[in-house]
Amino acid sequence: MTKLMLATDDEIKSKILSIRGKRVMIDKDLAELYSVPTKRLNEQVKRNLIRFPEDFMFQLTADEKEEVVAKCDHLKNIKFSSHLPYVFTEHGVVMLASVLNSDQAIAVNVQIVRMFVQMREALLMHKDVLLRLEQLEKRVTVHDGQIELIFKHLRQLLSYPAEPRVRIGFRREDTV
């Protein structure tokens, strides 16, 4: 039995991209993680195309490819490739493991799915924090308006000319 070459969590996380509002992995990166040539990975996908609907896998446009190459240094060698890469969502990655069906693919697949889940949980936690921050901002905005009103009234009070005030109260005769 050959020893499996697993990537680190940070390596996998760095290969998860956000394209068209979805978290995806590019075919070249997946092939590298699965220790198969990208051509072989794409051949298996094409042979089993029914397993990869649009929400599991899609092909990048030329503009998206340029953007990905510009953002990711490790993908610079696909810049001059004539073919447009495929990207796989979390579900597409799971399906890839069944199509490739090797020990390496299964082991790496489990690792990748864990990363997707971890990222989703982190996003949910951040969403909760952002929601609380937004609520706090709304409260502060309301208070800002009230504080501004207080300052407006104070300015009005300060702008009235000071008239000599008549003292009221008991006066002693000897001080008059």
* pLDDT surpasses 60 at 95: yes
Question: Is residue 174 one of the residues assigned to a domain?
Answer: no
148 Cα distance to chain centroid: 36
Range of the domain at 34: 9-127
Question: Is residue 146 one of the residues assigned to a domain?
Answer: no
Say what the pLDDT of residue 1 is: 42
Question: Is residue 15 one of the residues assigned to a domain?
Answer: yes
Question: Is residue 160 one of the residues assigned to a domain?
Answer: no
Question: Is residue 133 one of the residues assigned to a domain?
Answer: no
Q: Total domain count for the chain? A: 1
Question: Is residue 134 one of the residues assigned to a domain?
Answer: no
Question: Is residue 123 one of the residues assigned to a domain?
Answer: yes
Question: Is residue 4 one of the residues assigned to a domain?
Answer: no
Q: From its phi and psi, is residue 129 left (phi > 0), alpha (psi between -120 and 50) or beta?
A: alpha
Is-above-0.85 flag for pTM? no
Say what the pLDDT of residue 153 is: 80
Dump pLDDT digits (tens) for 113-170. Answer: 777 777 777 777 777 777 787 777 777 777 777 788 887 887 777 776 667 777 777 7
Dump pLDDT digits (tens) for 22-75. Answer: 888 898 888 888 888 888 888 988 998 888 888 889 988 888 888 888 888 777
Say what the pLDDT of residue 154 is: 77
3-state secondary structure the chain: CCCCCCCCHHHHHHHEEEECCEEEEEHHHHHHHHCCCHHHHHHHHHHCHHHCCCCCEEECCHHHHHHHHHHCHHHHHHCCCCCCCEEECHHHHHHHHHHHCCHHHHHHHHHHHHHHHHHHHHHHHHHHHHHHHHHHHHHHHHHHHHHHHHHHHHHHHHHCCCCCCCCCCCCCHHHC
What CATH number is given to the structural domain containing 63? 3.10.260
